[in-house]
Structure 1
Amino acid sequence: MSEIKIGVMGDPQLLNEVVHDVNSQDDMELVAVFSQEEAETTVGYTQPVKKERLEKISEYSDQIDVLIICSGATTDTYKQTLEYSQYFNVVESYLPMIKLPIHLERVDRVAREHDKLAILALDWAPGFFSLNRLLAEAVLPQGETYQFTGRSVSQGHSETLRRVKGVADAVQYTLPAEEALESVRKGEAPEISIGQQQSREAFVVLEEGADPEQVRAAIQQLPDYFSSNATEVHFISQEEMAQEHQGNSQAGTLIRTGKYEKGKGHLLEFQLNLEAKPIFTASVLVAYARAAYRLSVKGEKGARTILDIPVSEIAPYDREWLIENFL
């Protein structure tokens, strides 16, 4: 089996998990990790890792089959994917859905021009939940879909909080509406909006001299993040933040209900419970890096999402093995 040559760049927490995951794959070879730090060989992993300065990344265009972009910040991912899809097939982990159509169009244009393939917005939502929702609604076209987030740390929303004027540090939890969740499971099919399916809780460390009420109002009025949900804001010390809010768990429930002739009903439920979200996200990125490589070899190019990729392309097995063992 030929080895897929992988490059990795981005935020350290997710990057480190991707490095470990790539090194555990039989069909992948880690070529280099790119960062702003001085180039060196890092031995803190199970295998030595070559590090290169980020400005040298384009020099590796003929040595890397797929670049995994681990940047979590909205603006970083948006710019980096657009830039690096000139040189590499790429996969990326995060982008708010509100900007995804524009991002897809721009990356598609660049990737096609340079005969590259990019797979965007790979995580659990958007990502795995998107894929499962498509499957559920395709087989139950008459019905309702409900998506509940369990008590989870939202990395994207937390990063957005930290950019609010007057905020020194922050973390945001998404909470499920338990009564609505149980009502759906009982088949009562309540009419509730996405905003009513969850609420948000923010823990904020203020910058010195910041007005807490101004900060609270600025957070609760943020469009696309907090304005459409009930958001409770708590102000805490940096010590409390360090002691009580360093977890990165994620959980969620997707339910599709359907009603058919003679009153017969169906309910499909998909659950996801992650003790450490970066580890899961890394696994998703690595699996879809495999798909990006395989599809690029077949001549595909442009920008894709998880909805466009055949599931068989992410598995480290050939078609015959999958048919024999999964069907």
Structure 2
Amino acid sequence: MKFVPPRVPPATVSEVQVLVADWFRREQRPLPWREPATSAWAVLLSEVMSQQTPVARVAPIWARWLELWPTPADLAQAPTAQVLREWSSLGYPRRALRLQECAAAIVERHDGVVPQIYDDLVELPGIGDYTAAAVVAFAHGRRSTVVDTNVRRVLARVFSGTALPPPTYSAAERAFARAITPELDEQAAAWAAGSMELGAVVCTARTAYCEACPISALCAWRLAGFPEDEHAQVRTTQKFTGTDRQVRGKVMKVLRDAHGPVLRSQIDLVWPDQAQLDRCVASLIEDGLAEQDGEAYSLPQ
């Protein structure tokens, strides 16, 4: 189904924004990167690390990275092997490489200071639309349209009256989110943080805890009787077991845990399908996540 921007009275939009911001100030989770003294670099790290990863797993690794590399210049100069080891179990290790490239770009292009402007941020390696907008809002307190999966779900339910948004984030949906973003910096940043938090802990994909929701009385989905997801037939759950991603993760764990080069005979033990294992090892080398020297493999130095 194509996204059709809902017609919502401006007064309703304003009321929703105020209620969500007030609720967030009272109920927000005490995440370490929300502390007032948190640097823009620390916020950027938290946003990249938190993508598709539970906050509980991110927090200790985030703190460890800041202990080792408190500035972009520190990470830019770090040994790549150490960066990948410290990435630990966050998944998608290419993000760790992109973060190091991002740090180097911040040093080269911006004198080691995280940019405040969206256009500058989105040009950094590994920084997409969401992360750039989030850094503008959460690190610099400036107006930007921050939309992740949680925000999309909140907007779909509250304003469109649907259980979930369309599978694909369209230009029309993006334009609607931008149109309802408050104009003033402080209010826009509060709306961004509050709408994300609401989707993360109250208006979740699995369960809508309407009794805890500050805007349940204004929610179009609730008022319509909670209609089922009209896009359910085209949604699929991405499996993990048996995928190349799982195999790559097993190989990376062997390389991270080793104190030196690892023989191919040791890598062969992690997966029974030799053809799939060969493919995954080759892809890790191609992605710059592993290096080969004859029969020995290691993390890039």
Higher-strand-fraction structure: 1
TM-score when scaled to structure 1?
0.27
